[in-house]
Structure formats: structure tokens, C-alpha cells
């Protein structure tokens, strides 16, 4: 028999409860190389978390030590998780037993002469087995129901989802705005229309694994939706919706692959009855529509989102060429207009008018010095109108 005395007091991580502890054990199960299995016995109040053909080295009982360091495919990379989970579960009055391969670990709080207080201890005895099994007992029915509701599919519950390269888009209404990473809840925001269960490889979480950067989240939701090449009706639903799910799609902040763009463009042509020689413009771009109508007698088709127009124009060569020319002309006109505005309200104009009036009374040297000073006062975009001003 061996006894490991850990430098963890009963009150460590006092803000943690049962949910945080189970989260850590579930995460360790997912991170382990062994096949995971989670069983919930509601009748007897027991949760059993098993990893086949694996075990935990005793060296991981040392704080800061871990068996999964630098593995980017894992969510947890901090090593303390399962030790803290054991501590919290004991503190919450649960019984914990760990079959660790051919060893049995029995955790308890015991008084330490070294630390002069109660600490977490692990008693190790020989046993028969090949698997890593955490058995936690003493749960009430309500506690187990709460855990089932908190963790996605923890007890094999069925749910509806769309599978993507980045994980799952959860389409059931009870998951609206809920974000999971491999079944573990990390974020909730009702501004999203759908739920998401991401693959850990694509998500960066904080130390407690409970927060995801909102910009990263919007990017991941957009990338997930862009994987739905066989469900463009759903893609339309996201883009036409008011949720945050489609923000990066609508703003074109995500680079789509060619397969998505080509297939989606064909879908949009059918949806909006677009012909090859039509001109496609977002219906919010009133100025652009006006300028385009001056350049062509072809039919102008308007679509309700900029992203629709952008994707369509990548495959409509005539439309894209007309719009590119119109935008360039419009930009030039706008730049010219801005240049005249800056000039009209500038000190440069005041000095020029004075110079034009009194130039004949100045010596050549004074004229040169004055012109050098005026060069320093040139307003923005003056190069566009210089010839017109000085003619």
C-alpha cells in the first residue's frame, strides 16, 4: 500500500462545485487515448467514467505535472484538472473510487502533520484491471438530471445537428445560443440563433475552459455554416437571419473555398432567377444601382444581402466587369468631389486668392518663397484638381 499526500487543502478552488468537477473528469476522459465511456445510474446515484486500456501515471499527482502537455488536440492542458475534481467531489459529500489500471486509488481528506491541516490524500493498493475508471456515488436524482442538461449527450441523449468540419451545428431550440467544445459547455449567448459543438482542435479556451473569444466564435460559426454545401437552404436561413451566426458571412470576413462559392452561386442564381447577362447588386446599394443603370441596358437584379451579390458576381463575368467599372468611376468622382470640398474650406484657397491679387507687387524671390509655403498647405487630394485650380 502507498499513500500520496497532495499539497491541496479542502478549501482549495472554493468557487468550484459539482458541475466544475464533473467537467474536469469528462474532459480528462475525452483527452485520454483510451476509448471513453460514460454511464449514469440514476437509480443508485452513480456516475462512472471509463477509459479503456489506459491509466494515469502516479507522477501526475504532482501539481503542474501532466500526461498531455503540448498536445493541441486536447482541450485541457494544465494537469491539475482531475486532482481538483476529486477534491471538490469529496468536499461536496460524494464518494470517489478510481480503478487506475492495476491499482486502486481511494481519495480522502486526512490530517497532515507536515502541513498542520487536512489535505487531499490518495491511498493506492494493488488491484486487477486494465482500464481507468472513476466511480462517483452519492448523487441525488435532481443532481444527475442537472448534469444531463448541462453536458451535451452525456448519457447518450439524442439531439439534432448538422455535422461540419469544425464540429456540429445544433438545430434544436433548447440549444439556441449554447456553445460546447466536444460536449462541454463553454459559452452562452442568446444573440446566436443556433447552438454549436466544436472540435477542440479549432478552439482556444481560457484556463477554466468556460470562455471563448467572441470574434473567434463568430469566425467559427461562419466557417461551420460554409461547410454546409449540401444544405444551402440552411445557409440562406443563417444569412437572412438576425443572429450573430452569420455576421462574418455577411461582412465577407471569411474566405470561402472554391467549391462552396461555385455551388452556392448556382443555388443563388436559381433562388433569385439570375441569368448570365443580368447585373446583380445588393438592394441596399442605391447609389451603385443608379450608376449601373447609366452604364448598361441589361436587367439589374437586386438581392437582399451583400454577400449574395459578392458570391454571384464571382461567377457572372459581365455583371462583375460592369460593377467594377462603375465602382472605379464612382470612387474617382467621389475623390474629386472630396478634393474640391477640402480645397474650398482650406487656408490654401485663401492664400492663393491673396497671391493672385498681389502677385504683381512681389519680387521674384518673394513669389518663390510664397509658393514654397503654399506647397506645404496643399489640402488632401489637391493633385486631382491642381490643373483646374491653376489654369
Cα-only R_g, the chain: 33
Residue 329: which pLDDT band, with cuts at 50, 70 and 90? Answer: confident
pLDDT greater at residue 127 or residue 206 = 127
Is 77's pLDDT higher than 50? no
Mean pLDDT, residues 108-135 = 93
Q: Which three cell numbers stand for residue 83?
A: 486532482
Mean pLDDT, residues 131-147 = 94
Rounded Cα–Cα distance for residues 235 and 261 (Å): 12
Residue 197: which pLDDT band, with cuts at 50, 70 and 90? Answer: very high
Between vectors from CA 369 to CA 364 and to CA 371, what angle results, nearest 5°? 95
Q: Please state whether beta strands 161-164 and 36-41 pair in parallel, antiparallel, or not at all (unpaired).
A: unpaired
Is 256's pLDDT higher than 90? no
* Residue 258, CA distances (Å) to 227, 239, 261, 279, 311 in order: 12, 19, 5, 22, 10
DSSP 60: G
Residues 6+ apart with CB under 8 A from 120: 6, 8, 9, 10, 83, 86, 87, 90, 107, 108, 109
Rounded Cα–Cα distance for residues 166 and 79 (Å): 25
Rounded Cα–Cα distance for residues 243 and 237 (Å): 10
Rounded Cα–Cα distance for residues 237 and 254 (Å): 18
Rounded Cα–Cα distance for residues 84 and 95 (Å): 15
- Comma-separated ranges of CATH 3.30.565 domains in the chain: 2-150
Mean pLDDT, residues 103-129 = 93
Angle between helices 18-31 and 81-91 (to 10 degrees): 150
Is 119's pLDDT higher than 50? yes
Residue 9: which pLDDT band, with cuts at 50, 70 and 90? Answer: very high
Tell me if the pTM is above 0.75.
Answer: no
% of the chain surpassing 90 pLDDT: 54
Q: Do the Cβ atoms of 105 and 98 come closer than 8 Å?
A: yes
**Which H or E run contains 351?**
helix 347-358
Rounded Cα–Cα distance for residues 268 and 205 (Å): 36
Helices and strands, number each (H, E), in the chain: 13, 14
User: What tens digit of pLDDT does each residue of 204-221 get?
Assistant: 776 556 678 888 888 999
Mean pLDDT, residues 69-89 = 67
SS3 161: strand
SS3 7: strand
Which residue matches cell numbers 460554409? 226
Neighbours of 36 (CB within 10 A): 16
| pLDDT at residue 224 in the model | 93
Rounded Cα–Cα distance for residues 319 and 296 (Å): 10
Is 76's pLDDT higher than 80? no
Rounded Cα–Cα distance for residues 223 and 248 (Å): 9
Mean pLDDT, residues 186-191 = 92
Query: Which of the listed CATH numbers 1.10.3470, 1.25.40, 3.30.565, 2.60.40 matches domain 2-150?
Result: 3.30.565
Q: Do the Cβ atoms of 369 and 391 come closer than 8 Å?
A: no
Backbone torsions φ then ψ of 22, nearest 5 degrees = -65, -35
**Which H or E run contains 289?**
helix 286-295
Is 71's pLDDT higher than 80? no
DSSP 175: G
Which residues, listed in sequence order, are joined to residue 99 by a DSSP beta bridge? 104, 133
Amino acid at each position: 500500500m502507498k499513500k500520496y499526500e497532495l499539497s491541496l487543502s479542502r478549501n482549495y478552488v472554493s468557487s468550484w462545485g459539482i458541475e466544475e468537477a464533473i467537467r474536469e473528469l469528462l474532459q480528462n476522459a475525452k483527452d485520454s487515448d483510451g476509448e471513453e465511456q460514460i454511464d449514469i445510474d440514476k437509480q443508485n446515484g452513480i456516475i462512472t467514467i471509463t477509459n479503456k486500456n489506459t491509466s494515469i501515471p502516479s507522477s501526475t499527482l504532482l501539481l503542474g505535472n501532466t500526461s498531455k502537455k503540448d498536445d493541441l488536440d486536447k482541450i485541457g492542458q494544465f494537469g491539475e484538472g482531475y486532482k481538483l475534481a476529486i477534491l471538490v467531489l469529496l468536499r461536496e459529500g460524494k464518494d470517489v473510487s478510481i480503478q487506475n489500471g492495476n491499482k486502486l486509488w481511494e481519495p480522502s481528506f486526512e490530517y497532515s502533520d507536515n502541513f498542520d491541516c487536512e489535505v487531499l490524500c490518495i491511498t493506492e493498493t494493488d488491484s486487477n484491471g486494465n482500464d481507468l475508471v472513476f466511480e462517483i456515488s452519492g448523487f441525488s436524482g435532481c443532481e444527475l438530471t442537472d448534469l444531463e442538461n448541462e453536458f451535451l449527450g452525456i448519457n447518450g441523449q439524442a439531439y439534432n445537428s448538422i455535422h461540419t468540419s469544425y464540429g456540429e451545428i445544433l438545430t434544436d431550440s433548447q440549444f439556441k445560443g449554447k456553445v460546447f467544445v466536444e460536449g462541454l459547455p463553454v459559452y452562452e449567448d442568446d444573440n446566436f440563433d443556433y447552438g454549436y459543438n466544436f472540435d477542440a482542435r479549432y478552439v482556444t479556451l481560457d484556463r477554466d475552459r468556460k470562455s471563448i473569444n467572441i470574434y473567434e466564435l463568430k469566425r467559427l460559426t461562419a466557417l461551420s455554416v460554409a461547410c454546409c454545401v449540401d444544405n444551402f437552404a440552411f445557409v440562406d436561413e443563417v444569412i437572412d437571419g438576425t443572429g450573430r451566426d452569420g455576421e462574418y458571412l455577411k461582412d465577407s470576413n471569411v474566405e470561402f473555398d472554391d467549391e462552396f462559392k461555385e455551388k452556392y452561386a448556382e443555388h443563388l442564381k436559381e433562388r433569385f432567377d439570375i441569368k448570365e447577362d443580368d447585373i446583380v447588386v445588393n438592394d441596399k446599394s442605391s447609389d451603385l444601382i443608379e450608376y449601373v443603370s447609366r452604364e448598361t441596358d441589361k436587367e439589374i437584379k437586386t438581392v437582399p444581402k451583400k454577400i449574395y451579390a459578392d458570391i454571384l458576381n464571382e461567377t457572372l463575368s459581365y455583371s462583375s466587369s460592369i460593377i467594377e467599372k462603375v465602382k472605379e468611376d464612382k470612387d474617382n468622382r467621389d475623390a474629386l468631389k472630396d478634393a474640391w470640398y477640402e480645397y474650398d474650406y482650406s487656408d490654401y484657397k485663401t492664400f492663393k486668392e491673396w497671391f493672385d491679387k498681389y502677385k504683381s507687387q512681389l519680387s521674384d524671390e518673394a513669389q518663390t518663397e510664397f509658393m514654397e509655403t503654399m506647397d506645404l498647405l496643399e489640402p488632401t487630394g489637391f493633385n486631382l484638381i491642381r490643373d483646374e485650380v491653376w489654369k
